[in-house]
Structure 1
Amino acid sequence: MSDNQVKFLETRSMTVPLSDEITKAFILETREKKNIEDVEDERYTHVLTHSKSRFAPPISPNEIITLEFHPSGNYFAYSRVDGSLNIWRFPTGSGKFSKEVQYTYVRDCVNSERVATGLSWNPREISHLAAASNSNEILIWTHDSYKKTITKLKTLFVKSFKTKINQCLYDPTGKWLLGTTKQELLYLFNVKNEYSLDLTFNLWEKLKYQSSITSITWNNSGSYLFLGLKNGKIILLQIKQNNDILDFDLVIEIDAHRSSINNLKMDPCGRFIIAGSADGTCSVWDTTNLCSIHVITDLDAAVVSLDINDLGKILAICTGDDQIFFYDTNNFKILERSTIESLRSDAIVKFHPNRSWCLLSSKGDTLKHYIASTDDEVQYWKVKYENNLSAIRNGKTTSNTIKSTPQSTRGSSNRKVMKSRDRHSNTRRHGEIPRGTRYGND
């Protein structure tokens, strides 16, 4: 056991500094070589075979465009530049990938001329996956993990063939499916009504100026929509429905950054939203009043990917110079920084929806899986603490174990730091824009 582990195990009550130490120790454990494994998909096999050949030409890039977990955590899917789709049924138990794990590979998931530029899982259906492909349609697939196939359930068309829908996103409740173009148009499909197109919204008409949509995310209840624009603005829209009339109401415009907002991510606990920009900074916005509460400025390049773990405690940021940073969201102090070696394309990072493990880009456009002995930092503390108690009771107390029993931490955990969902009911605390704020009631 390391000195750092002994230090936090000797603490008798849960405090913010203690929580920060536990989180850092957890991250460091996921970075240990024994806890890093390759995701052995078709790309990995190709890279491995290529690297063993003395006469093979330089390997061509094949970057991941988009990677999405199902909200249940049971599946994840990602598309590549070559037009392929990869779907994994996530293994139970230890979480290790093996040959027995169901893995589906589709060579041309849209057609031979297009690639899937946006993917989104239906939170109400375990196997339903939506895909946008920079065209006037969104495809809805169902995935069979045992037959290792996908079947098209529905094709959602918009009238104009000039329309290029490049992103799609189910809201967290599964009621709506949003499709957006790079330019001004938003399409809202009613999932419960056979995916009827209930609203076509022209953003530029509402804003009175033009700027491309670069990122999108819902709030945790699906009542508000955040848009990141190329000019650095964040736009907040609210769904309004009066009788049979459905519309987006423009709530607020925020001058957030000097350059394109490449990423938007809502905190799982609903406390804040984080924007990552091409200007090399990340801004944090309080959802109760949409005021900036922090700006991360110690990045050296554009933000290309970011994510927050399911407890809302760890923020991971990938930058254009192949660096990954881990921050503690309690104080936004850096916990760990490392280099992603031999990466030719933009890095991508994703946490599991119900674990603090993550997937991260690796050399040759492959993926690596970073895990730990426990699911998250709360369980990490519990296991280390109980192991030490067991050692004491068995009379095996050494200099590397605590000499007295800490008081129970039940109920004393810092609630701001360690908010979590009930894992048995699989429910999540939803962050709402409160009533009575300066930008209107829900």
Structure 2
Amino acid sequence: MADDLTKSFLKTTNDKKYIEDIEDERFSYFLTNQKSRFSSSVSRNEVISLEFHPAGNRIAYSRVDGSLNIWKFLSNDGRFGKNVQYTYVRNCINSEKIASDLSWNPQELDHLAAASNSNEILVWSHNDMNKTIAKLKTLVVKGSKTKINRCLYDPTGNWLLGATKQELIYLFNTQNEYELQFTFDLWETLGYQSSITSITWDNSGSNIFLGLRNGKIIVLEFSHNTENNEVKFAILLGIEAHRNSINNIRMDPCGKYLIAGSTDGTCSIWDTTTLCCVHVITELNAAIVSLDIDHLGKILSICTGDDHLHFYNIPDFKLIENINIPPLGSDAVITFHPDRSWYVLSSKGDTLQNHFSTVNDELQNWYSTYEKNLNVVRNNRQNQSGVGKPHSQPNNRNSDRHYDNNKISKDKDRHRNNGRKNDNMSRQHNRYYNE
């Protein structure tokens, strides 16, 4: 039943009346170009990084043209309508660079970190009233040729991780003015070279999972000694996971599975307690370019390079829905809302769409369906109990009272008659005795 309701919920989110265009600067440009009589082909401007704040109050995404788009939700409905504030920054880094990766600080509602494929990580504060961003910190590492292309806060917000495509991983302490706490040389520890293509923390912030270009998954254990403030990274495991580059790696919100998507067209699912592979999705016919898991840990979404969106059920990983995406010309991107099973998806012309529903997720869909079925059962029972009864019939309490009164009066008559019989018998007895 849960699987059927999940499928019903996903069909709702793909209904036209529940699809909302995100009307940012790109959408306005694309719409104007489509309506113009002198329209030409629209140049590509794909989304590079798309990130919701863990609290669900903001979403930010960067594009190839160097722009940054930030939406703040003013209500809890999660829709990109009147109850949002939109901030557009044309060149968030500078005119020559783009934000290659974004990450929100889970401890702050408006702090956003950005890597730019350089030796710097910028930390901004988003001012939604003025619709601007202000630079809080510029984190610089040694070496002008160093290119940090990924940044990621840990789940506690105490640490910010920066990683290059090559061998270096940097760890900044957010509680100590973003001081560079530790530098880890991956290649030196592994003993071989392979680029880092994807990275994620586990839900506790004690382990880091790296996806490599050679198809391996590297598990790093992170430890912090609070007494001497010492930080250590240790390689726990290296897994031969895929035959080609791992583009996407995600941790299940429930902490049960680690999911990796590769350019070889397969998706592997790993049990986090044993780090054994429990399933491999092999029916995909193209490279995986994006994937995500909803906040209940029930739905796995996968975008492939042939412009298809696949939804799989967790934990049996059976295909629920397969949807064609309008031809993009660039890699599709999908991400779920952090507090509901709605999702943001790439659309035609590198625009974005919000897919929502009348309920927040498949659990509420089950509850509303259960309530409807329960009401039907109740109504049927009431109708069956009311068949054949006259409308003027008194209620049960009055009927019982009427029955009790009749019984009492009959009992009184019976006692009265018994008394009369006893009197007659006593007279006859006295007469007999006297005679």
> Normalising TM by the smaller chain, what interval?
0.7 to 0.9
Counterpart Cα distance in 2 of 1:397 and 1:156: 70
3-state SS of 2:218 partner: strand
User: Which residue, 374, 385, 400 being the options, matches 2:359?
Assistant: 374
Residue in 2 aligned with 1:324? Answer: 309
Residue in 1 aligned with 2:75? Answer: 92
Counterpart contact for 2:73–2:83, Cα < 8 Å = no
Does 2:15 align with 1:29?
no
Does 2:3 align with 1:20?
yes
3-state SS of 1:102 partner: strand
Does 2:143 align with 1:166?
no
Tell me which of the two structures has the higher relative contact order, counting C-alpha pairs closer than 8 angstroms and 6 or more residues apart: 1
Counterpart Cα distance in 2 of 1:355 and 1:301: 28
Does 2:302 align with 1:297?
no
1:385 Cα shift?
2.0
User: Which residue, 191, 213, 234 being the options, matches 2:196?
Assistant: 213
Does 2:261 align with 1:276?
yes
Counterpart contact for 2:2–2:366, Cα < 8 Å = no
Residue in 2 aligned with 1:72? Answer: 55
1:244 Cα shift?
3.8
User: Which residue, 127, 136, 139 being the options, matches 1:144?
Assistant: 127
Q: TM-score, normalised by structure 1?
A: 0.84
* Stretches of structure 1 lacking an aligned partner (at least 5 in a row): 1-17, 399-442
Question: Quick one: which amino acid aligns to residue 238 of structure 2?
Answer: E
Stretch of structure 1 that moved more, 389-398 or 288-297? 389-398
3-state SS of 1:298 partner: coil
1:101 Cα shift?
1.8
Question: Quick one: which amino acid aligns to residue 206 of structure 2?
Answer: S
Residue in 1 aligned with 2:137? Answer: 154
Give the 3 Å change call, closer, same or farther, for CA 63–256 of structure 1 in structure 2.
same
Does 2:225 align with 1:233?
no
User: Which residue, 52, 70, 88 being the options, matches 1:105?
Assistant: 88
Counterpart Cα distance in 2 of 1:335 and 1:90: 30
3-state SS of 2:84 partner: coil
Does 2:179 align with 1:196?
yes
What is the CA deviation profile of residues 76-126 of structure 1, one whole-angstrom value per residue up to 9, with x for unaligned ones? 100000000000113524433224520000000011110000100000000
What is the CA deviation profile of residues 222-272 of structure 1, one whole-angstrom value per residue up to 9, with x for unaligned ones? 110000000000000011335343221010000000000000000000001
User: Which residue, 36, 43, 46 being the options, matches 2:29?
Assistant: 46
Residue in 1 aligned with 2:106? Answer: 123
Count residues with an aligned counterpart.
Answer: 381
Counterpart contact for 1:91–1:97, Cα < 8 Å = no
1:198 Cα shift?
0.5
Q: Spell out the pairing of 1:277-426 with structure 2 (5 A cutoff).
A: 277-393=262-378
Residue in 1 aligned with 2:41? Answer: 58
* Stretches of structure 2 lacking an aligned partner (at least 5 in a row): 384-435
Question: Quick one: which amino acid aligns to residue 371 of structure 1?
Answer: F
Question: Quick one: which amino acid aligns to residue 315 of structure 1?
Answer: L
Counterpart Cα distance in 1 of 2:100 and 2:234: 27
What is the CA deviation profile of residues 275-300 of structure 1, one whole-angstrom value per residue up to 9, with x for unaligned ones? 00000000000000100000000101
Counterpart contact for 1:69–1:353, Cα < 8 Å = yes
Counterpart Cα distance in 2 of 1:363 and 1:112: 26
1:68 Cα shift?
0.3
Counterpart Cα distance in 1 of 2:74 and 2:3: 29
Counterpart Cα distance in 2 of 1:387 and 1:155: 55
Give the 3 Å change call, closer, same or farther, for CA 389–37 of structure 1 in structure 2.
same
Residue in 1 aligned with 2:428? Answer: none
CA RMSD of aligned residues (A): 1.5
Does 2:241 align with 1:256?
yes
3-state SS of 2:9 partner: helix
3-state SS of 1:147 partner: coil
Counterpart contact for 2:149–2:165, Cα < 8 Å = yes
Question: Quick one: which amino acid aligns to residue 275 of structure 1?
Answer: A
Q: Which has the larger radius of gyration?
A: 2
